[in-house]
Each structure stands twice: as structure tokens, then as C-alpha cells.
Amino acid sequence: QSVLTQPPSVSAAPGQKVTISCSGSSSNIGNNYVSWYQHLPRTAPKLLIYDNDKRPSGIPDRFSGSKSGTSATLGITGLQTGDEADYFCLAWDNSLSAGVFGGGTKLTVL
């Protein structure tokens, strides 16, 4: 049972938009930054969003992040088959003094 809650899976057609939610509490998301990662099998995870809503250089603006209260959301527009992957949110938890990941969301581009 992950501290941060994500839907196990989401799906959408190519070209469409999808959002992935990440729900936590005041000890993590509510008072700390959220980052998002894309993970393909047998590869290193890739940073997509940091500090809730900022994109590293090289990440297309199809990817966006937002945070409200104790929840965060990753948005992906103009879906491509290459976006099929697992997506994880991460935040620091002040009560645990530990990093906490969401359980991950598998994106299927139909």
C-alpha cells in the first residue's frame, strides 16, 4: 500500500489527452514539491516534471504538472504510442522523513 495513491491504469487514443492523479496528505504533497517520472521496462526512470509543474529541458510541453492541496496531477496531451509506460509521482514525507512514490500508473495508448 503506497503512501501516495495513483490509479493503476489509464488509457486513451493517440492524439487524445490523459491525466494521472496522485493523492497524498499534508505530510507529503500538501507541504512538499511533487515530481513525476516515466518508466519503461529495463530502462532508467526519466524525470518529466519537478517542483509540481516545471519541465526539465528536453521534455516536450505535451507533459504538464499541477498541484492543489494534497493532490497532484500529471497531464499528457497529444498522446503518442511512445508514451506507453508506467508513470510515478514522488514527494518527500515529513512525518516519515522519507521519500514516497505513488504506486504507479500504467498508460496504454489504444
Applying CB under 8 A, the residues found at the interface with other proteins are: 2, 35, 37, 39, 43-47, 49-51, 54, 56, 86, 88, 90, 96-104
Give least dist CB 98 to other proteins, A: 5
Give least dist CB 100 to other proteins, A: 6
Give least dist CB 72 to other proteins, A: 13
Q: Which is nearer to other proteins, 81 or 97 (CB)?
A: 97
Give least dist CB 82 to other proteins, A: 19
What is the pairing mode between strands 105-109 and 9-12? Answer: parallel
Q: Which is nearer to other proteins, 30 or 103 (CB)?
A: 103
* Alpha carbon distance 101, 89 (integer Å): 6
Q: Which is nearer to other proteins, 18 or 37 (CB)?
A: 37
- For the residues of the chain, what is the DSSP string, one character each? --SBB--SEEEE-TT--EEEEEE--TTTGGGS-EEEEEE-TTS--EEEEBTTTB--TT--TTEEEEEETTEEEEEE-S--GGG-EEEEEEEEETTTTEEEEB--EEEEE-
Q: Which is nearer to other proteins, 100 or 107 (CB)?
A: 100
